[in-house]
Amino acid sequence: MQVDELLKLMVDKGASDLHFMVSSPPVLRIDGKLILLEDLAALSSKDMESAFEQVSNQEQRTAFGKERELDFPYSTPGLARFRVNVLQQRGTISLVFHIVPSKAPSIDELGLPEICKQLILKPRGLILVTGAAGSGKSTTLAAMINHLNETERRNVITVEDPIEFLFRNKKCLIRQRDLGDDTKSFSSALIHALRHDPDVIVIGEMRDLPTISTAMMAAETGHLVIGTMHSNDAAQSIDRIIDMFPFGQQQQMRLQLSQVIEAVLSQVLLTRIGGGRIAAFEIMLGTGIIRRQIREEKGHEILSNIELAKPEGMQSLDQALADLVKRNVITQEEALMKSSHLLRLQKFLQS
């Protein structure tokens, strides 16, 4: 089995992911749906070992042998770049390739909210881009950095796992650090980034207390910090950050977070009518009311205030889903599948 040939097939068919696992033919994900390549034979353990060897080096194979899981980039000249995840399941190797476009997309090309252009130009503060795995968070971040690179002169440092989109300096100086090859941890990279005269720091994933604590300190001391989290909405993102801290520190962290938060963009990826994908966003901005609700532990009131503040640029996910349905971009069934508040969504669909 030649992996590069299947990667070319993946690109030709416009798939976002290619799956390899034992006892199954290769599987493509196209517009969110898994498509079994039934004309190909089911893969054996030897096929999987061969596939892994074709795309990895000895150092990566040694790391996988120790950890039983690994993320790394892979490129095929003239074709595309890929993010590869390998893990062990039931004693065998499983591989997933996720395509990474060679050129960072623009905010307009992706149809992202216009507020993204304003947020990335903020001089300081904390911006979170949240959502489930595979919801397009990295692509949103790349589009925002791309806009900054074309608009302002800033020193940008990214810490990614692994590096996906590659940037060329335009107006900005952009340094990209790969977790594993260039640094050992997000928190360590963040501390050292602060000594590298940054204006903007991009954190691929805010997933532990040291990283979150240092990110908040960086935002508080005059840097713009942008990070991703695996959370479903703004209120959950706020609670997840606070819950990382010991109970005795949580009230102080609420105060600190309320002072630095500029926005939370929570996104889901949807299938367009006619094919293709589009992201829908809940947008929470750091207004005076929102900051007060964070300080006073009133997260349950955040959603209602988001919905009432649409003239200020905020919107709930259900408002965004209803808008896409009304514009015939997605089906009502697709919107209902992604909503966590069906009654709210029905209200916006009928208004």
Q: What is the pLDDT of residue 169?
A: 97
What is the chain's mean pLDDT, rounded?
Answer: 95
* Across 278-303, average pLDDT: 97
Strand partners, 276: none
pLDDT score recorded for residue 104: 86
Edge to edge, the sheet with strand 80-89 lists 33-36, 27-30, 17-20, 92-100, 80-89, 69-76
158 token code pair: 């990214």
Q: Which residues contact 316 (CB under 8 A, 6 or more apart)?
A: 282, 303, 306, 307, 341, 344
Q: Taking a C-beta distance cutoff of 8 angstroms, is the pair 180, 162 a contact? A: yes
Return phi, psi of residue 95, to 5°.
-125, 140
Residue 102: pLDDT over 80: no
Q: Domains in the chain, start-ordered, CATH in brackets?
A: 3-100 (3.30.450.90), 107-350 (3.40.50.300)
Rounded CA gap, 130 and 205, in Å?
A: 10
Residue 65: is its pLDDT beyond 80? yes
Instruction: Indicate the pLDDT class of residue 236, thresholds 50, 70 and 90.
Output: very high
Q: What pLDDT shows up at residue 257?
A: 98
**b or e along 199-236 (b: 16 or more beta carbons within 10 Å of the residue's beta carbon)?**
bbbbbbbbbeeebbbbbbbbbbeebbbbbbbbbbbbbb
Q: Read off the pLDDT of each residue in 289-297 and give the average, rounded to a whole number.
A: 97
Orientation of helix 288-295 relative to helix 250-260, angle to 10°: 170
Long-range contacts of residues 55-58, Cβ cutoff 8 Å, at least 24 apart: 55/3, 55/84, 55/95, 56/84, 56/86
pLDDT (average), residues 225-233: 95
What pLDDT score was predicted for residue 344?
95
Q: Check residues 248 and 184 and name the one with the higher pLDDT.
A: 248
Are the C-beta atoms of 154 and 175 separated by less than 8 Å?
Answer: no
Query: pLDDT tier at 212 (50, 70, 90 boundaries)?
Result: very high
The C-alpha atoms of residue 283 and residue 307 are separated, in whole angstroms, by: 10
| Percent of the residues in the chain that have a pLDDT greater than 70, as a whole number | 100
Residue 202: pLDDT band with limits 50, 70, 90: very high
Q: Who's near 218: CB < 8 A, 6+ residues apart?
A: 190, 193, 194, 201, 225
Residues 149-197 have pLDDT tens digits of 999 999 999 999 888 899 999 999 999 999 888 998 999 999 999 999 9
- CA-CA distances (angstroms) from residue 182 to 96, 176, 177, 196? 23, 9, 5, 15
> Taking 90 as the threshold, does the pLDDT of residue 45 lie above it?
yes
**DSSP state letters, 59-74:** HHHHHHHHHSEEEEEE
Distance CA 31, CA 113 (A): 21
Tell me: pLDDT of 83 over 80. Answer: yes
Q: What is the mean pLDDT of residues 60-74?
A: 94
User: Is 309 a residue whose pLDDT tops 80?
Assistant: yes
Mean pLDDT on 209-213: 94
Residue 271 banded pLDDT, cuts 50, 70, 90 = very high
Closest to 218 (Cα-Cα) out of 159, 176, 172: 159
- Split at pLDDT 50, 70, 90, the class of 350 is very high
